[in-house]
A = this chain, B = another copy of it.
Amino acid sequence: MMKLPIDVAQSIADRLNYRHNGLVVAVAQDVDSKKVLMVAFMNREAVLRTLTTGYVHYWSTSRKKLWMKGEESGNVQEVVGFLIDCDADAVLVEVRQKGEACHKGYYTCFHNRVTKDGLKLEG
């Protein structure tokens, strides 16, 4: 698990461009299977908590609050790696997922595959 000192985390958080209503886009990817698990948003505080605690935190745009992924379900995401994109307005978090990522019981939130015959459930 990656946990950074607060001063390093702050310098990282300062580099981001929170241009989507004060947020950056955050993609969580399983570090082992490489599956993309979910997409959500982070504000500066969510970035700081993610980097200093080693557990992924997001800003919920619907509930308008900070949350640690899995705080209720136990399906936490341990931070293994953290990458920033070229525009500094999106981050990619490499995680070890406990349980499953999707609140609907699927391992990944991306479980609806488009086919010629419409959507097909997967995973």
Contact = CB atoms under 8 A, between A and B. Distances in A.
Nearest to A4: B116
A26 to B, nearest CB: 9
Contacts of A106: 86
Among A15, A82, A83, max chain B CB count under 10 A is at A83
B90 A112 contact: no
B81 A109 contact: no
B110 A92 contact: yes
A86 B102 contact: yes
Contact of A8 (B25, B35, B116): B116
B114 A85 contact: no
A40 to B, nearest CB: 9
Interface in A94-123: 102-104, 106, 109-114, 116-119, 122
Interface of A: 2, 4-5, 8, 11-12, 15, 20, 25, 27, 29, 34-36, 38-39, 51, 61, 81-88, 90, 92, 102-104, 106, 109-114, 116-119, 122
